[in-house]
Amino acid sequence: MIAMPEILTIAVSKGRILKESLPLLARMDIVPLEDPETSRKLVLETNRPEIRLIVVRATDVPVYVEYGAADAGIAGKDVLLEYDGDGLYEPVDLGIACCRLMLAGARDRPDTTGRARVATKYVKTTRNYFAELGRQVEIIKLYGSMELAPILRLADLIVDLVDTGGTLKANGLVPLDKIADISSRLVVNKASMKMKQALLKPFVNNLARLVNP
Ligand code: ATP
Ligand code: PRP
């Protein structure tokens, strides 16, 4: 499905990625007509009649883009690593919302020797990480506040995003290993890239030049 040939629809993860994307878009002279932080609208027109933004949950960005409901999107690499799909190009590392995906454990019992229980929302990435190490673990899927799991002994280890390390420290946890560097990426629908080239290519190229001058 390629929606509206004359309009570019850009899906942006709400929250911190949206916050950090707006200044980048503004530097490309793309400014929403309403404040996305306060507007209840989910489709935001911009000062450019041919470009509109949709603001969605982080994990939904690649879904909108893969199916062509959005032509491009901005999503964290953490989300893209978890996503099983193949209708996406990932042409630009935007260098925003940077952090690390880390293995962490309790300060007083940082790791176990046996079959550890690992709590995470990043099940696929965690499974691949331990498979490469040849280590058997039990993975427990959580949807947030992973740092709580070792405190309550739900899990021995967690895999979660770390930036300043403040959340780990505040919860008696220590970082054990870095699994991946994370930043936000521009993702583009493969069919849109062909069928909306005249609109999409300048958008991708301008963004690439902006972040890699
Ligand atoms: P949702 O509410 O939809 O579950 P979320 O709580 O994961 O989403 P955010 O915390 O805004 O939403 O995170 C969105 C993205 O921002 C993550 O996918 C990641 O790429 C990046 N991110 C998350 N935490 C940090 C952090 N502490 N520092 C920098 N970037 C981060
Ligand atoms: C993210 C992440 C960690 C924290 C790490 O949570 O899930 O909990 O940031 O950042 P730090 O190392 O600088 O402390 P966020 O603040 O986005 O909260 P939420 O995902 O639970 O909403």
Q: Establish whether residue 162 lines the binding site of ligand 2, counting it when its CB lies within 6 angstroms of any ligand atom.
A: yes
For domain 99-180, say whether CATH 1.10.1370.10 is its number.
Answer: no
Residue 1 has pLDDT above 70, yes or no: no
Q: Which ligand is nearest to the CA of 182?
A: 1
Number of other CB atoms surrounding residue 8 within 10 Å:
22
Task: Note whether 8-97+183-211 and 99-180 share their fold.
Answer: yes
Mutate to test the pocket of ligand 2, among 14, 163, 179, 181 (most ligand atoms within 8 A of CB): 163
Q: How far is CA 158 from CA 41, 71, 73, 122, 172, in A?
A: 36, 34, 28, 10, 12
Q: Which ligand is nearest to the CA of 94?
A: 1
Which sequence spans correspond to the domains of the chain?
8-97+183-211, 99-180
Taking residues 180-193, report their average pLDDT.
97
End-to-end distance of the chain based on CA atoms, in angstroms?
Answer: 34
- Summarize pLDDT for 136-155 with one digit per residue, the tens: 999 999 999 999 999 999 99
Measured in degrees and rounded to the nearest 5, phi and psi for residue 9 equal -110, 120
Residue 151 neighbours by CB under 8 Å, 6+ apart: 106, 171, 172
Ligand 1, pocket residues at CB < 6 Å: 13, 15-17, 57-58, 76, 78-79, 97-99, 161, 163, 182
Look up the pTM and report it.
0.94
- Summarize pLDDT for 68-117 with one digit per residue, the tens: 999 999 999 999 999 998 879 999 999 999 999 999 999 987 666 778 99
For domain 8-97+183-211, say whether CATH 3.40.50.300 is its number.
Answer: no
Closest C-alpha to 37, from 58, 22, 57: 22
Taking residues 189-197, report their average pLDDT.
95
Ligand 2 atom closest to the CA of 167, numbered from 1:
14
Please state, in angstroms and rounded to a whole number, the distance separating the CA atoms of residues 97 and 75. Answer: 10
- Summarize pLDDT for 19-40 with one digit per residue, the tens: 999 999 999 999 999 999 889 9
- In contact, 73 and 10? CB cutoff 8 Å: yes
Predicted confidence at residue 37, as pLDDT, reads 85
Ligand 1 atom closest to the CA of 182, numbered from 1:
20
